[in-house]
Structure 1
Amino acid sequence: MAKTTARYCLSALMLWLWLLPKPAGAEIQPQVIAPPTLVWCLDHFPHFHEYDNSDTPVGPSVVLMQELARRAGFQLSFTPRTSLARCLKLMEQGDVDLMSNLRYSDERNQFMYLLPYSSNVAESLFLRKADQRLIDSKAQLRGLTLATLRHYLYNPATMALIAEESRHIAQVDSIEVALEMLLRNRIDGLVAPTISTTEAIKAISSYQQRFKIAPLDFSGVAPNNIHLAIARNSPNAALKPLLQQHLQTMIDDGTVARLIRNPKDRPDVKELKLQQP
C-alpha cells in the first residue's frame, strides 16, 4: 500500500511539473538515454586477461570484451584484480554483470547465463625440466603429488582424473604459487592451462629452462567450451539476447578465433614440449 501511494504521489508530481507554463521560445529537447554500464569481474589469468602493474587489464580477452561492448552499445567497466572465487560470489549476488573464460557447470548455470564462444582452453602437465620420467599416460600419474588450481574448472576428462586422484592433489590459488611449489620439489607436477602457465613461466627470468610440458594428452573428447557469463541477478540481465547476438556475430566473422589463438601455434609452448633434462 505504501509503495502504491508513493508511486501515485510521484506520478502526480511529474504531471504537475509537465503542466507548468513553459518559458516563451522553449523547445522540447529529446531525451538522451546513456548506454548501460556493465561491470566485468576479472581475476589474473596470464595471457587472456591480466593486470600488468596497472589498474587497466590487458590481453586478448580484454580486446574481445571491448569489441563486444562497442558492437552491443554498452560501457564496459573493470573490477580491480579479483580472485576467481570472489568474482563467482559477486556474480551470484548480482553485484557484477560479466565474467569470461568460464567452463560450464550445473552449479554455475544456477546463477549465470553461460554463452559459449570458444571451443577450448588447452591444459598440460608441467614438470621440472630435470625430471627424468617420461609421462605420457594418465596411469603414470598414480602416486604422484600434483597441484591443480582451486575453483578452476578443467575439461571433463581432467576433472574425472582429479576426482580419481584426489588424495594426491594439492589445490592452490594461483599458477604462480604452484610453479614455486614445483620448483621447490613440494609437488611432482602441475596440471594447468597451457598458455597461461607458459606466460607465467616467461614472466620470471629465474624460471627459464626450469620447466617442461609432459607429452601426456589432457585434451579429452567431451565438449570443452569456454563461456561468457552474465549474472542472472544482474540489473542488466535483460541484455542477454543482445550480447548473445553480437557474440555470435564475432564468432561467425572470425573475430574470436583471431584473438583466442590455438596454443599449438605458439613457439613458446612448442619449446617447453621439446625440452629435455
Structure 2
Amino acid sequence: MLATIVLSICLRHFYHAAVFCLVCAISLSSYPVIAEIQRLRLAVEPSPPFSHIDDEGVVTGLEVDIADALATEMGTLLETVACPWARCLKMAEQGDVDIVIGLSKTSAREQKFVFLDPPFISSILEISAYQRADARFDVSSLADFRALKVGVQRGAVHFKAFDNDPLITKIYVKDIQSLFNMLLVGRVDVFLMPTVAANEYLFEFDTENEIKRASFTQHIDQGGYIAVSKKSPLIENLETLQQVLGNLKSTGKLETILNKYNL
C-alpha cells in the first residue's frame, strides 16, 4: 500500500514536471531561428522630442522602446549605438548594426535595407524652413531655395521635389547641431526640418532667438519603418521577424509605446 502511494506521488510529480518542460519547450521555440541571435543591434540618432541622450551617453526614447520590445519578444539582448544620422545609416549598410527605426522608404534605401511592412506608424509630417531672423528675404516657395545655400544633414531625405532638384545648392553637414551652427554663422542660408523636432532644437541651440521659421512648409504622408540591414544576420529570418512585429501589434504592446509619445 505504501509503495503504491509513493509511486502515485512520484508519477504526479513526473507528470507536472513533464508538462512544465513541454510548456517551456513550446515557449522557447516560438521563434526558433531568432533565438540563435544573441543581441539586437540598433543604431539611433538622438532626436527630440522622441529620443534623447543623457550626460552618460545613454539613449532613451521611441526607437529604443520599440527595439527593446522587439528584443524582449525575441528573447535576446538589445545593444544601442548612438550616432549622427549618416553614420547610423552607414553602420547599418555595412552590417555593423542590425536595424534602424523610423526610416522612410525610398528606392535607393531599398537597395541596402529590407523594410518590415506595414510601417509601425503612418502620419502627415510637417516640414518647415528655418533661416536667420535678420534675413532680408522670406523663403516661401521651392523656387526660393535655388538662390540660396541650403543646409542638409547627411543621409536625410525630405520630399522628392526638394531632394531631386539639381538646381538647389545643398551644403551637407554631419548632424543637427551643425545645421544650426552653420546657419547662425552664415555658412548656409536656410535648412529644412520637421517642425515638431525643430521646436525642441531651437530651445537648445538658439538661445538668443536668432533663427526664425520661414513661410515655406511642406506636408508629406510618411511612414515610419523598421529597416533591417541586408548585411545583418536577421536578414535570413525576415519571416520570423515579421511575426515578432505582428505579435507586438496584436498584443497592443506597440500601441502602448506609441501612446507614450502621443503618436
Which AA in structure 2 matches 1:122? E
Query: Quick check: which one's strand share is greater?
Result: 2
Structure 1 residue 216 and structure 2 residue 216: aligned?
Answer: yes
How far off its partner does 1:245 sit?
Answer: 0.8
Q: 2:154 maps to what in 1?
A: 150
- Aligned CA distance change for structure 1 residues 149 and 259 (closer, same or farther; 3 Å): farther
Q: 2:66 maps to what in 1?
A: 64
**Between 92-101 and 127-136, the greater mean CA deviation after superposition:** 127-136
How far off its partner does 1:98 sit?
Answer: 1.2
How far off its partner does 1:72 sit?
Answer: 5.1
Q: 2:128 maps to what in 1?
A: 124
How far off its partner does 1:70 sit?
Answer: 3.8
Give secondary structure in 1 for the equivalent of 2:171: strand
Q: Distance in 1 between matches of 2:137 and 2:40?
A: 48
Map 1:1-277 to 2 at 5 A. Answer: 36=37, 37-71=39-73, 73-79=75-81, 81-115=82-116, 116-120=119-123, 121-160=125-164, 163-166=165-168, 168-204=169-205, 207-220=207-220, 223-237=221-235, 238=237, 239-246=240-247, 248-249=249-250, 254-255=255-256, 257-261=258-262
Which AA in structure 2 matches 1:156? K
Q: Is the 8 A contact 2:149 2:189 kept in 1?
A: yes
Q: Distance in 2 between matches of 1:155 and 1:249?
A: 32
Q: Distance in 1 between matches of 2:109 and 2:231?
A: 13
Residues 220-249 of structure 1: CA deviation (Å, up to 9, x unaligned): 4xx422211122332233142223313544
Give secondary structure in 2 for the equivalent of 1:106: coil
Residues 32-54 of structure 1: CA deviation (Å, up to 9, x unaligned): 86784211112333333332222
- Aligned CA distance change for structure 1 residues 44 and 252 (closer, same or farther; 3 Å): closer
Q: Distance in 2 between matches of 1:148 and 1:64?
A: 27
Q: Distance in 1 between matches of 2:223 and 2:43?
A: 20
Q: Is the 8 A contact 2:95 2:229 kept in 1?
A: yes
Residues 101-158 of structure 1: CA deviation (Å, up to 9, x unaligned): 2111223223322132222443210112233533322233331221111111223343
Give the TM-score normalised by structure 1: 0.69
Q: Distance in 2 between matches of 1:195 and 1:251?
A: 26
Name stretches of at least 5 consecutive residues in structure 2 with no aligned partner: 1-16, 29-34
- Aligned CA distance change for structure 1 residues 54 and 242 (closer, same or farther; 3 Å): farther
Number of corresponding residues: 229
Q: Is the 8 A contact 1:155 1:224 kept in 2?
A: no
Q: Is the 8 A contact 2:140 2:214 kept in 1?
A: yes
Q: Distance in 1 between matches of 2:143 and 2:98?
A: 41
Which AA in structure 1 matches 2:78? L
Q: Is the 8 A contact 2:44 2:63 kept in 1?
A: no
Give the TM-score normalised by structure 2: 0.72
Aligned residues: CA RMSD: 3.2
Give secondary structure in 2 for the equivalent of 1:207: coil
Which AA in structure 2 matches 1:212? K
Name stretches of at least 5 consecutive residues in structure 1 with no aligned partner: 1-26, 263-277
